Amino acid sequence: MSLGLYIGTIGTSVWFSYDLGETWKRPYSESGLYLECRVWSLTTNPAEPGKIFAGTDEGIYRWNDVTEKWTHHPSPMDTTPVWALAQSPHDPKYLLAGTQPAALFRSRDGGETWSRVPVHLATSCVFVQRPRVTQIVFDPLDPRLVWMGVEIDGVYRSQDGGETWSKCCNGLVSEDIHGLAVLPDGRRKLFATTNKGLHCSLDDGASWVFRPLDSSWQYTRAIVPRPDGNAIFLTNGNGPPGSTGKLLRSVDAGETWHDARLPGELNSTPWCVATHGAAPHVVFVSTNFGQLFRSLDGGDNWEKLKREFGEVRAMMLHPTEAA
């Protein structure tokens, strides 16, 4: 079974590659999803190859590689941008979705039906006007622990599987949360990226420590551990969307970071990182303005792929059943 690479864009829907980024296709609107929609988030059930969820400006859609069709899953989010999607690794039928304006929704039946989760989130802020949920992360080992990042309203934590939530921002130098990551690493490490830099928590988010980067910029976006646990990738640049940046890599559980040396001149801040446990040495990185880079050796060496997109907001690797 091969890996599919899926890229969600702003204004050109979702693109698919079944040969590690060499060639691409985009299903037309008759597949069920408007060809020029904005796609903010992607997620999948690890047990279901070739089936992915997309969070769009028009709610939740699900793709099937075999039928090559998108299915709309009606929800209260149908007229709301769905910025974050996550499926529980402990129960694949349990999904959480976050929107702009910031709100949290839940499905217990694999995305068929959705209900709003009662959590009070900020309703306004200076920079993005309407706060938005940027990422939801389930702890890979403890089904009770879930974290949510909100731009701009900090980090929220649930200790009962998503039933109730509390804000946990002690030590953050900014509540402009872009990304979250959990690293088991003996004792659990939680990372949060912001417009002003990287933070780490060793107490499940109760307190945070700012981790200055040896970089020209502190602006950080995605943070993604390699599935084998031997590296973490962090995107870093000079702002949103930015005009340049770099990919940082850590091989000591986030204690130190080094430039992964993406080739050529970057056109914006690196934005998304994709990897998968079925092939942990395959890593993809995209910039905000659509440049695409590939490593086949876990991040030691990189090549820039010929294909470029417009604005990219989500990227994912997942086993496919496509012919």
Model confidence over 166-207: pLDDT tens digits? 999 999 999 999 999 999 767 799 999 999 999 999 999 999
Q: What CATH number does the domain located at 3-319 have?
A: 2.130.10.10
Q: List C-alpha distances in Å: 58 to 75, 79, 190, 259.
A: 10, 5, 32, 38
Q: What would the two tokens of residue 110 be?
A: 């694999």
Predicted local distance difference test score (pLDDT) of residue 48: 81
Residues 6+ apart with CB under 8 A from 28: 35
Question: Is the separation of the CB atoms in 275 and 260 below 8 Å?
Answer: no
Which of 45-54, 61-70, 176-185, 289-298 holds the top average pLDDT? Answer: 289-298
User: What is the rounded CA–CA span in Å between residue 234 and residue 236?
Assistant: 6
Q: What would the two tokens of residue 163 be?
A: 């039933």
Model confidence over 10-20: pLDDT tens digits? 999 999 999 99
**Segments making up each domain of the chain, as ranges:** 3-319
| Range with lowest mean pLDDT among 22-31, 193-202, 256-265 | 22-31
Q: pTM for the full model? A: 0.96
